[in-house]
Amino acid sequence: MGWLSDQVVLVTGGGSGLGRAVTERFVDEGASVGVLDIDEDRLETLESEFDDSVTTIVGDVTELADNERAVSETVDAFGKLDVFVGNAGVFDQNTALSELSGDQLEESFVELFNVNVLGYMMGAKAALPELLETDGRMVFTASQASFGSDGGGILYVPSKHAVAGLVRQLAFELAPSVRVNAVAPGFVPTDLSGTETLGGDRGVVSAEEFDPTNHPLEITPSAADYTGPYVLLASRENSRPMTGTIVRADLGRSVRGITEVSRSAVEYVTEDIDR
């Protein structure tokens, strides 16, 4: 028996990267999972691997009709909806304001915020009627960029700040019936899509390029390493007192600067013990 036994979940952007890792972990924890993704090939691969535990829906998270269809098909397949996971996102390749023309700025802003913010709202809107029936949960993918000025560029970072506001507002509006929380990962070694207006290239630092010593925990994580907080927040029993919470899984980045202090302290204590 897993933490999500007999639970039904809908994950957006679940065909690759972090979303796929979350989907796989949820199935391992006993859930039945609907996956909404824009890439049909990824979804076919997912269905072939998980058989009856997963149902897939090809669609665009920025379209309310596609989100409603995803909810409907998930409920048709599994009988209810307990959890909505808003995860689909695009990246801005760390682009600075000075690098964008006026036209690029406007077009890229609309595209990125449509996916990263409006897409979450559309999914929440579509899932809400079913979640009210089950006293369900919403779990969103925030980011370390929801709290700081790094982790992206002039478009991505503000979009993830907006996600933090969305979580808090929805938690306020939907209490006590629906709990709304988020996970804020740090570095995730996945090929997050770029906006089409900036070339559409996939590009996040690979695990091989990542320098773990820049983070206090000094580990190079996999996408699967981040799935535990999603399980916690999706679990009815284990997240019962939590709403409006954003779990920061950022490799200790939020306490940057403490690494050298900690080492110095450890070295001092060790020397003192030796003496």
Is the Cβ–Cβ distance between 170 and 124 less than 8 Å? Answer: yes
SS (H, E, C) 165-232: HHHHHHHHHHCCCCEEEEEEECCCCCCCCECHHHCCCCCCCCCCCCCHHHCCCCCCCCHHHHHHHHHH
Q: At what angle are helices 119-134 and 64-78 packed, to 10 degrees?
A: 30
Query: How would you classify the pairing of strands 32-37 and 54-58?
Result: parallel
Residue tagged active-site, from 120, 156, 226, 230: 156
Locate 229 and state its tokens: 């907080």
Catalytic, 156? Answer: yes
3-state percent helix, strand, coil for the chain, nearest multiple of 5: 50, 15, 35
| Strands laid side by side in the 83-86 sheet | 54-58, 32-37, 8-12, 83-86, 137-141, 179-185, 246-249
Residues serving a catalytic function are 156
